[in-house]
Amino acid sequence: MQKLEHIGIAVKNLEEANVLYAKLLGREHYKIEEVESEGVRTSFFEVAGLKIELLEATKPESAIAKFVEKRGEGLHHLAFEVQNIQKSIQEKKAQGFVPIKETVSKGADNKLICFLHPKSTGGVLVELCQEIR
């Protein structure tokens, strides 16, 4: 893993969360993007080289909708940048970590993504992400 790429925060209402985080961080979001395959709308803020991704469900069956229903708004995942996502997944599996899906997905912000199940990572949802080249 190269670096902590972003912190994902689940929210009920993206517009309200954008106002709150703009006030909190002293800057506006720089991008809103919908990832239809994941059933989310995202908004990104950048602070000191680290991105904060706000995630709002667009489908009631999406992972974010289920998360917010069960746990409420808050920290959803930590995302780590990797050079080669396929290789990283295989390395993590060999170390005993469990991917949620065996396939890589296209995520927001021009990334290929894969999540590691929190049951294998000490209770924290971990995302591996690679810039699409």
pLDDT over 90 (residue 96): yes
What dihedral do alpha carbons 89, 94, 99, 103 form, nearest 10°?
A: 50
> Cα(65)–Cα(84) distance, rounded to whole angstroms?
29
pLDDT over 90 (residue 1): no
pLDDT digit string (tens) for 41-85? Answer: 999 999 999 999 999 999 999 999 999 999 999 999 999 999 999
pLDDT of residue 102: 84
